[in-house]
Structure 1
Amino acid sequence: MLHFRTEGFNGSAVKYSPFFDNRLAVAASANFGLVGNGRLYFLELTPNGIVPLKWYTTQDSLYDLAWSEIHENQVLTASGDGSIKLFDCTINEFPVQAWKEHSREVLSVHWNLVAKDRFCSSSWDGTVKIWSAQRKQSLLTLPTYSCTYSAAFSPHNPDILSCVTSDSHVRLFDLRAPDSASGHPAMIPIHGSTSAFVPGTLGSSAKQTIVPPSECLTHDWNKYRPSILATAGVDRTVRTFDIRAPQQGPLSVMPGHDYAIRKLAWSPHRSDLLLTASYDMTCRVWSDRSDMLVKDGDLMRTGPIGPTMGSELGRMGHHTEFVMGVDWCLFGSEGWCASVGWDESLLVWDVRAFVK
């Protein structure tokens, strides 16, 4: 396990470079993101451990980041002052570009993996915005009417965008459809009539717990199954959904964390594997047990007793404060990942060493 200390700054997000197997970026904030400066780190993995390539101190807290998909040295940041900034680690002057239309904190940024000239942002102001790096103004504003913690383009379709909000819904926007652009997206109730039930134990048909609606803090698209995404948040439970059947309820559920789940990420190497970071100071690796899901024609569905119970495969408990971010390495052996937390620590570790 490799360690780098973000001294004086509490980590909020980490991302591996999509271009280099030894490069990471970390977004961090002073005073736990409540007040004060932010800092963006460009870091490299070397035979001598993790070394800083460059860092930039910002006037306000940083809550998220995203590597550019068209320039190997550039990273977007989401700031507490409502701005989005683009940094280039080869240029001392910073930022190289900036945008500011959000009226509240920007909580997430995400680059389109297919149409690589676009990215999106989500904010506490109840909107998602679509941007081009070539324009000073946003291309489109999508209202959500609720604090929007996470927004992401589908990795399979450049015109499909999803977000999760404080009102316990996944919103799905098809940018080709006028209804989406006018604020009428497809919606999946995360804690709907079916989603509100969490099975007790695998194989148990009677023990279920009713979970009231709560804020959803994070979500991610499956890299291999185009219609599947996962959500998690304050209720400490991961759920997977098939967007082809929005009212069907979750395909699988994975309860187990002791406190809220702040970040989740599907594996880029396996379709059933995902990683979570939580306020309980652990990172956990899960299988959604998709091998137990049956096929009904072309539609994946749950069995007669409801959603499949996923399984926790292992956990890493080396952080000593809230774990805020986690990401998988795209290159090399399939288990390497990185995590950051409020303990001023970036850890790079192998998931396989913690699997039971």
Structure 2
Amino acid sequence: MNSPAILQTPGFAHYSLAWSPFYNTKLALASSANFGLVGNGRLHIVSLLPGPAGLPTLKLDKFFESQDGLYDLAWSEAHENYVVTASGDGSIRLWDTMLDVRCSVYINLAIGVWQEHTKEVFSVDWSNIQKDTFVSSSWDGTVKVWRPDQPRSILTLQAHQSCVYQALFSPHQPDLISTCSTDGTLKIFDLRSPSYAVGPGSNSFTNPMSAAVLTVPASASEILTLDWNKYRPMVLASGSVDRMVKVWDCRMVKLGDSQVGGACESSLPGHEYAVRKLQWSPHKADILATASYDMTCRIWNTIPMGPQPPLRYIHDAHTEFVAGCAWSLYEEGLLATCSWDSRLNVFRP
């Protein structure tokens, strides 16, 4: 693909995107009016279609309105049509993307709503192992674990004392959750610890737990994003306000012991402004994509061979902050980016 396939959604700045784990040509976009400062949010459902001369095109299938801006989303790993979203009003909403919205665009059609967080919800992630479970993180400092058939969260972590920008389940072990925060740390929580047992009088939304098995002092500035390596358990990447991308090796930690540590395996300088999002390739252990407020998305080889530089490619087609990037789960090397310029780009670096 020599040039990106582009979809424009005027009036709505994109905050996050995700490829469907069930369909290789379907994506979802979380967006906000007025750059997320005030106004509605939208969940866009997009298809990648064959185009003229072999170049694919992007088609907006439908969109769902929310009363506040949407900051993140995740496809269900158990139901091919469900998407969960994180909202600026502190709510989490579950959507059925097969609902017909032609006659009711401005009606909130979410099939599930949870309102426990007291500030903006900034991330959601669906476990690809424990497929009936998802996790959320909020500016209120907490991380909550949910099941879509339960009216309340099943577990609450007082993960940080300040904003938790992202929380992710490990793709290798369903009981591990990693978090990053304004306090400059990465943390790993092990839900197998006895302190996280769920039962009468135990961990709940009114009695949160805070013991991390590992705390990594990863940056002197805010850490905005992190991701688990898909092939190397206990290896994480982080992106921060100081423009740095770092790879952390946490394999020496014995789970169950609260420790401060983690070895920085590599540092990847190059972005000119804060790193807003990053994601490891699902097809290669050493390839990482990063999105930044410098309006670029960059591709890195985190274990360069010989004199080859770690920075492999710069995508600079956006004209505003690049807030999201995501690799196709089915087609190797296919990458999507979204930006505050209201554009979704799909391309092959």
TM-score (norm 1): 0.85
Tell me, yes or no, if structure 1 residue 259 matches structure 2 residue 273: yes
Q: Deviations over 1:47-101 (max 9, x none)?
A: 2421111101110000000000001111110000000001111123710111110
Q: Report the equivalent of 2:300.
A: 286
Q: Report the equivalent of 1:75.
A: 83
The structure with the greater share of residues assigned to strand is 1
Alignment gaps of 5+ in structure 1 = 192-212, 293-308, 352-356
Tell me, yes or no, if structure 1 residue 327 matches structure 2 residue 330: no
Distance 1:184 1:10, change over 3 A: same
Q: Report the equivalent of 1:354.
A: none
Aligned residue type for 2:49? T
What percent identity do the matched residue pairs reach?
48
Cα drift, residue 247 of structure 1: 1.7
Alignment gaps of 5+ in structure 2 = 52-56, 101-107, 197-202, 204-208, 253-259
Cα drift, residue 145 of structure 1: 1.5
Aligned residue type for 1:74? Y
Q: Deviations over 1:116-170 (max 9, x none)?
A: 1100000000000000011010000000212100000000000000100100101
Question: Could you say what secondary structure the match of 1:32 adopts?
Answer: helix
- Partner Cα distance (2:58, 2:30) in 1: 16
Q: Report the equivalent of 2:60.
A: 52
Aligned residue type for 2:29? V
Which of residues 17, 20, 28 is equivalent to 1:17?
A: 20
- Partner Cα distance (1:104, 1:85) in 2: 15
Q: Report the equivalent of 2:255.
A: none
Distance 1:231 1:51, change over 3 A: same
Distance 1:178 1:36, change over 3 A: same
- Partner Cα distance (1:135, 1:54) in 2: 28
Which of residues 202, 211, 216 is equivalent to 1:188?
A: 216
Question: Could you say what secondary structure the match of 1:264 adopts?
Answer: strand
Q: Is the 2:281–2:289 Cα contact (8 Å) retained in structure 1?
A: yes
Q: Report the equivalent of 1:201.
A: none
Aligned residue type for 1:142? L
- Partner Cα distance (1:243, 1:142) in 2: 21
Cα drift, residue 330 of structure 1: 1.0
Which of residues 104, 110, 117 is equivalent to 1:95?
A: 110
- Partner Cα distance (2:141, 2:250) in 1: 22
Question: Could you say what secondary structure the match of 2:109 adopts?
Answer: coil
- Partner Cα distance (2:140, 2:189) in 1: 18
Aligned residue type for 1:101? E
Q: Is the 2:224–2:240 Cα contact (8 Å) retained in structure 1?
A: yes
Tell me, yes or no, if structure 1 residue 65 matches structure 2 residue 92: no
Aligned residue type for 1:184? A
CA-atom RMSD in angstroms:
1.6
- Partner Cα distance (1:58, 1:137) in 2: 21
- Partner Cα distance (2:309, 2:42) in 1: 36
Tell me, yes or no, if structure 1 residue 37 matches structure 2 residue 37: no
Q: Is the 1:288–1:310 Cα contact (8 Å) retained in structure 2?
A: no
Q: Is the 1:152–1:162 Cα contact (8 Å) retained in structure 2?
A: yes
Aligned residue type for 2:316? G
